[in-house]
Structure 1
Amino acid sequence: MPKLLVKPEGRHGRVSHVTPESAGWTYVGFDLHRMKPGEIVATETGSREVCLVWISGKGKATAGGEDFGVLGERMSPFEGAPHALYVPANANWSVTAETELELAVCSAPGGGGYRAKAIAPGTHPKLSRGKGSNVRHVHNIMPEDDNSAHSLLVVEVITPSGNTSSYPSHKHDRDDLPNESLLEETYYHRLNPPQGFAFQRVYTDDRSLDEAMAVEDGDVTLVPKGYHPCATIHGYDLYYLNVMAGPKRVWKFHNAKEHEWLLG
């Protein structure tokens, strides 16, 4: 199995690159570009659909023959909800950086005749989940109930310092609806302040997969199967961008039974 912790390669250009082939799975791809003003990233989606997420900075975007103008407001992923842009299969897209820009490219198999669409901050309401030291704040970008894509699910989460997240431990690795859906998943992690660190564990019931990772600013983690809780240390807030996809665009998870009492 490929390593589950993917470190950034450099500080400029395409610094993260996850494909189904490199991850050893079928659906999810993820790239992260760090761009300087005037630089351009442009490509064609082919058989895959894409969600572009403005992690920080501003950039002018075109997609599917449409000009979407300058997108992006925040200068840090910890400053509210993002701008995003959905691009369907068999379409061209380009982004030209207006400021220093951190651009995420989330991808999965496309289809269904969807059109390119900008997703403004606040399109979906901010949600807060958990209690005590298990609090996190959620910005859905492409949730399952918006009927906006063929297979992509995309969401951002902020976990305040000292809190756990993606917890109680849950998994979504069986195609067994309505009980559980099969979804591969990537986490793109950022820390505030950036010198901090967090932890993520990916494990299965039988422990045939059981990997605990120290996560630093800019790391990507892969969740091919199993449970995948996170925890950030005191003094450092944790941001992550989740990309999920599978045979059906449904997020139905199964909680680890030994930890379900925490939901009571």
Structure 2
Amino acid sequence: MTTKPYEGHVPAGASAAGPYALDIGPERAGWSHSGLRVLELAPGAAHSLDTGDSEWIVLPLTGGCTVHTQGESFELQGRESVFGGVTDFAYLPRDAHAQIASGAGGRFALAGAKCERKLPARYGPAPEVPVELRGAGDCSRQVNNFAAAGVFACDRLIAVEVLTPGGNWSSYPPHKHDEDLPGVESELEEIYYFEVEDGGVGYHRVSPSRPGGTDLLAEVRTGDTVLIPDGWHGPSIAPPGRDMYYLNVMAGPGRTREWLISDHPEHGWIRDTWPALGVDPRLPLYGAEASAR
């Protein structure tokens, strides 16, 4: 039986499987590399994972856990929520077995990518995560670059967290990375996993960059996911009074692991306005050094 790939917007619960509240691999997404799971563990519970042909990062969304793999144990302190602070994390190599256990229980993102090289298992301390303030004015947002290219070594996987204050636009100007243009743009499949503070609702837009390309306007709530195989993506719009979080997971076929984007030609001018506006004073939501760009 052939399983039809998910459409671009995957509502919370639509991809649940076993202990996973979200389980989207490359096959279900209809592409070749990027995957994301959200593991829910009850207090005292544990989960075993065979990494197969993919590398994975275990990233606490709520709660902490212990990760055992390759003869090592990593104690992840985690956090109360994605709106409460930067978290530590663990990297799992391909072709490995791992166990994730949580005394108090919690929810844990497993960001993954099919890869070729087997890198060592490692711990990522929260204090070493670069936190960037990007944009300005009502386009200000906070980016936790825990597994950005050039920050933390992976074979294919690129992953970051973005926090958008209520009423602001992020992923703006709309941009794309669906072509291999050396030095200009990298080809990357991307997953957006959303949480909205206190149960609010946000919006996310993807518009076609080619005839027949992805065309989506999604109303997103906590637990929703948007899949972006191609297209101009953005803005992501946070509702007034409710901050919005999303986890970006990216990977692609390029030999070089890099995040190179092209701005939409009708909207790129917005960057020129940022130096005069300054960063939204509500940021950082938690520890960061301002560096608008």
TM exceeding 0.5: yes
Q: Which runs of 4+ in 1 moved over 3 A?
A: none
Equivalence for 1:130: 135
Equivalence for 2:239: 233
Contact preservation (8 Å) 1:189, 1:220: yes
Contact preservation (8 Å) 1:88, 1:111: no
Q: Does residue 170 in structure 1 map to residue 175 in structure 2?
A: yes
Identify, as 1 or 2, the structure richer in strand.
Answer: 1
Return 5+ residue gaps in structure 2 as ranges.
273-293
Contact preservation (8 Å) 1:11, 1:34: no
Equivalence for 1:196: 200
Contact preservation (8 Å) 1:49, 1:111: no
Equivalence for 1:94: 99
Equivalence for 1:6: 10
Contact preservation (8 Å) 2:201, 2:239: yes
Equivalence for 2:124: 119
Q: Which moved more, 1:143-152 or 1:214-223?
A: 143-152
Among 266, 273, 277, the alignment partner of 1:258 is 266
For these two proteins, the number of residue pairs brought into alignment is: 262
Map 1:34-183 → 2, pairs under 5 A: 34-68=40-74, 70-146=75-151, 148-183=153-188
Contact preservation (8 Å) 1:64, 1:91: yes
- Aligned-partner residue type, residue 129 of structure 1: R
Query: How far off its partner does 1:207 sit?
Result: 6.1
TM-score by length of 1: 0.95
Contact preservation (8 Å) 2:142, 2:162: yes
Distance 2:271 2:41 in 1: 42
- Aligned-partner residue type, residue 220 of structure 2: V
SS of the equivalent of 1:57 reads strand
Equivalence for 1:25: 31
Percent identical across equivalent pairs? 32
Contact preservation (8 Å) 2:174, 2:264: yes
- Cα-to-partner distance string for 1:28-61 (whole Å, 9 max, x where unaligned): 0111112111111111111111111111101111
Query: How far off its partner does 1:11 sit?
Result: 11
